[in-house]
Amino acid sequence: MLILSRKIGESIVIQVGNRKIKLIMVEQDNGSMKIGFEAPKDIKIYREEVYEEIVKQNKAALESDVKRLGKIKTSIPKFAGKDNKQST
Amino acid sequence: MIKEYETKLGSVKIDTERTIIFEYGIPGFENLKQFVLLEPEDTYPIMWLASLEDKNVAFPVTFPQLIRNDYQFTLPQDLTEYLELAKPEDAIILSILTIPEKEDEITINLAAPIIISQKNRKGVQYLIENEEYKIRHLLKEELERSKAILSVQKDGE
């Protein structure tokens, strides 16, 4: 593992092909670091444990059997039409 | 063009225009890009986001507002641009369910919904930065919560 020492306000640049990701050390507080990111919009940045949990849940979802829905299915309301709301 | 695909729900004939492209994949399944939303009547309102490339992959999904009636979030501008969403109705919002053997343990992912654009047929699994929404919510508790909200609203009339 590469270990670099950086001060607040300093940055690290990661280059992948011709694309760059910049990590900026913003603030340090009691052993916790605040890091800013500048990256192309299609690069997704996640907290590792959150990303791993999404992966875990997605994989667990594949084991689903809808026959197991039992009584719960009848308690899910169905509305007429495929009405999807989203706030913007 | 109608094409036949093998999916987890069996062989299905699909208009290729209904294909949903997950250009950036779905966490854990980054290699799969082409999906379709199957809406079999016998499982509705549970639908299936089925891979057209791996017949073992189909996620059970439903509309999160059926489970949490006050569910809402704001999409960042780069995402609405990517999905070409001019108005909220241009998006289909879905949540992935996990249905284990015990009915009481069924969970819904409200933190990372699937967003599908009806404009350009692109899809993403988006992580909402809101502590209220978790990756695992018990379906049973959510349904009870929504029911309680509705009954309060009724009493207030």
What is the ipTM metric for this complex? Answer: 0.91
Closest to A57 (Cβ–Cβ): which among B85, B109, B143?
B109
Confidence band, pLDDT 50/70/90 cuts, at residue A86: very low
B128 touches chain A (CB under 8 A): no
What's the pLDDT score for residue B102? 86
What's the pLDDT score for residue B85? 96
From chain B, the residues in CB contact with A54 under 8 A are 27-28, 109, 111-112, 125, 127, 135
Q: What tens-digit pLDDT sequence spans chain B (157 residues)?
A: 999 999 988 899 999 999 999 999 999 999 999 999 999 888 888 999 999 999 999 999 999 999 998 999 999 998 999 999 999 999 999 999 999 988 889 999 999 999 999 999 999 999 998 889 999 999 999 999 988 888 887 776 5
What's the pLDDT score for residue B42? 84
A44 pLDDT higher than 70: yes
What's the pLDDT score for residue A83? 45
Choice between B94 and A64, residue whose per-residue pLDDT is larger: B94
The SS3 call for residue A69 is helix
The candidate with the shortest Cα–Cα distance to B108, out of B55, B45, B57, is B45
What's the pLDDT score for residue B62? 95
Question: pTM of the prediction?
Answer: 0.87
The candidate with the shortest Cα–Cα distance to A11, out of A37, A41, A33, A29, is A37
Q: How far is A52 from chain B (nearest CA, A)?
A: 8
Amino acid at A69: L
What is the DSSP annotation of A1-67? Answer: -------TT-EEEEEETTEEEEEEEEEEETTEEEEEEE--TT-----HHHHHHHHHHHHHHTT--GG
Using the beta-carbon criterion (under 8 Å), do B89 and A59 form an inter-chain contact?
A: no
Q: Where are the domains of chain A?
A: 8-43, 46-76
A87 pLDDT higher than 50: no
Confidence band, pLDDT 50/70/90 cuts, at residue A66: confident
A81 pLDDT higher than 80: no
Amino acid at A34: K
**Which residue bears the tokens 């059997």?**
A65
Report the mean per-residue pLDDT for chain A. Answer: 86
Q: Which CATH architecture group holds B2-155?
A: Roll (2.30)
Section A19-31 average pLDDT: 95
A71 pLDDT higher than 80: no
CB-defined contacts A:B, below 8 A: 123
Q: Under a CB-based contact definition with an 8 Å cutoff, are residues B69 and B110 in contact?
A: no
Amino acid at B19: T
